[in-house]
Amino acid sequence: MKRYRPIIVSLTLALALVLSACGGTDEPADTTTGAAETTTTAPAATPTTAATPTTAATPVSTEPIKIGLLTSLTATFAPWGISVRDGMRLAVKEINAAGGVDGRMLELIERDDQSNPEEGVKGLERLIEDGVVAAGGVISSDVGLATARVAEELKVPLFLVKAGSDAILTTESRYTFRTCLPAAPMVAGPVAQYVVSTGVTKVGAIIADYAWGQAVKSALENEFAGLEGVELQIEVAPVSEKDFAAYLRRLDDFGAEIIVATGHPPGGVSITKQTGDFGMDLAVTGSWNPLGLIVGAVGDQAFDRYADFACVDYDSAEYQDLARRYLAFSENTFMEDDAVAGFGMVHAIAEAVGEVGDDPVAVAAYLHANTFDIPGYSFSLSWTEWGEIAAAQPTFVVIREQEPPEGVSPGANWYPELLLLSEPLEPYVP
């Protein structure tokens, strides 16, 4: 079993080069941005070969290693996607500053899926035409459902970040990999663990009427059916819903002691704010939302009330060290777990290429055969044969009004506090 091996040869040297090149902004000096595509690359050094009179020199490839970013840079899931993008950009920048992979530079080609399945399919097909060795960053479950079929047909690795619908993977999947959010049926377990730990007996839930939300609904119903003395009431709302007053009134009448909004990602901000406005003094569990988005929109009402899941350990030295570098590189003010996942994806792909070359089929096989220790992750990342996270162990945190660790989110008056490290989750079998 092979562990994640940092691609960066000299972190100090690499960081110095990164900061020099990026000038403290989130746009690398060697990045060009168009309406539908952005390419981030660094010039490759020309290798030298020494030929003897009797032996021809073996050509050394100087072609860039192309990696695709396919995520939501506009529309509903843009806050998630922008974090993924910046995490991937940082990894590309640091690896290239350290010499690339066997002297070859990484090139990040970016496509915006616009949180739309059709755009996602077109974007992935164009990335594959461009010659990417792998692509990643998918947030929307609807986009994940559509693009996973393309990845499997064309045999190019595709990484999902927050696309958690249980319908995306099949037992025949070999080129689709979850990285941060596990399948929806696995998410209900940590919710139940938290409910049991707090002694709550009445649980209200609001889910969105689309693939992810319906998958969470089924998972919650199955999980809570086995909890004696705990009642569950679920409200179903449109994905685009902003006014949750009617749903919250029904849950208030029910006597809910906690609101599980895990099945409604776009509604996290509104649900948190409106429960406070209505005087409902209870916790709201989010759906792996960007914490900075919640605090920015809700403010003090999020403190001690908003709790959410993540695939990272915010208290770890590895996360905090990475976050300091990320915040010096990106215009974001907090390093979300989406950014950490993006950073880790690039490193995993780069390691695979360094070991087996840039054939996507060989890269997928290498990913399946190995385990990767992503800096800041709360678990080692490995996969089942069908691409589910093999040993997911998410954290559950609450937003507290407190001073962040030194150099992490300077000037902020909040930081997540760990409530629960879940038990390892049994991989979902499609």
Contact between 71 and 161 under an 8 Å Cβ cutoff? The reply is yes
Do 11-46+62-181+315-369 and 184-311+395-421 share a fold? yes
pLDDT at 59: 60
Which of 15-19, 74-78, 253-257 has the lowest average pLDDT? 15-19
pLDDT exceeds 50 at position 411: yes
DSSP one-letter code for 100: T
Q: Kindly report the backbone phi and psi dihedral angles of residue 386, in degrees, each rounded to the nearest multiple of 5, phi listed first.
A: -100, 5
Q: Kindly report the backbone phi and psi dihedral angles of residue 268, in degrees, each rounded to the nearest multiple of 5, phi listed first.
A: -55, -45
pLDDT (mean) for 272-285: 92
Q: What is the pLDDT of residues 124-134, one digit of tens each?
A: 999 999 999 99
233 CB-contact burial (10 Å; exposed 0-12 / middle 13-18 / buried 19+): middle
pLDDT at 60: 62
**330/344 Cα distance (integer angstroms):** 16
Residue scoring higher pLDDT (188 or 48): 188
Band the pLDDT of 118: cuts 50, 70, 90: very high
Between the alpha carbon of residue 285 and those of residues 60, 244, 269, 307, the distances in Å are: 52, 15, 11, 5
Contact between 377 and 340 under an 8 Å Cβ cutoff? The reply is yes
pLDDT at 123: 98
pLDDT exceeds 80 at position 336: yes
pLDDT (mean) for 152-162: 98
The 3-state DSSP class for residue 395 equals strand
Q: What is the pLDDT of residues 23-37, one digit of tens each?
A: 333 333 333 333 344
Which of 8-17, 102-111, 326-335, 389-398 has the lowest average pLDDT? 8-17
**341/374 Cα distance (integer angstroms):** 8
Residue scoring higher pLDDT (379 or 15): 379
Residue scoring higher pLDDT (9 or 249): 249
Q: Where are the domains of the chain?
A: 11-46+62-181+315-369, 184-311+395-421
281 CB-contact burial (10 Å; exposed 0-12 / middle 13-18 / buried 19+): exposed
The CA dihedral of 422, 407, 73, 164, to the nearest 10 degrees, is: 0
Bridge partners for 421 per DSSP: 395
Share of the chain above pLDDT 90, in %: 79
pLDDT (mean) for 184-196: 91
pLDDT at 340: 98
The C-alpha angle with vertex 76 and arms to 388 and 205, in degrees rounded to 5, equals 65
CATH, domain 11-46+62-181+315-369, list 3.40.50.2300, 3.40.50.1100, 3.20.20.100, 3.30.750.24: 3.40.50.2300
**233/27 Cα distance (integer angstroms):** 46
- The amino acid at residue 416 is P
Contact between 186 and 215 under an 8 Å Cβ cutoff? The reply is no
The CA dihedral of 297, 302, 303, 307, to the nearest 10 degrees, is: -130
pLDDT at 266: 87
pLDDT exceeds 90 at position 421: yes
pLDDT (mean) for 205-231: 93
pLDDT exceeds 80 at position 417: yes
Which distant-in-sequence residues (6+ apart) come within 8 Å of 356 by Cβ?
Answer: 362, 363, 365, 366
CATH, domain 184-311+395-421, list 3.30.9.10, 3.40.50.2300, 3.30.2030.30, 1.20.1560.10: 3.40.50.2300
pLDDT (mean) for 168-196: 94
Residue whose token pair is 């001690």: 304
Band the pLDDT of 13: cuts 50, 70, 90: very low
Average predicted confidence (pLDDT) for the chain: 88
Angle between helices 360-369 and 337-356 (to 10 degrees): 110
Angle between helices 211-224 and 184-198 (to 10 degrees): 50
Share of the chain above pLDDT 70, in %: 86
pLDDT exceeds 70 at position 207: yes
pLDDT (mean) for 347-370: 98
pLDDT exceeds 60 at position 7: no
pLDDT at 220: 95
- The amino acid at residue 207 is I
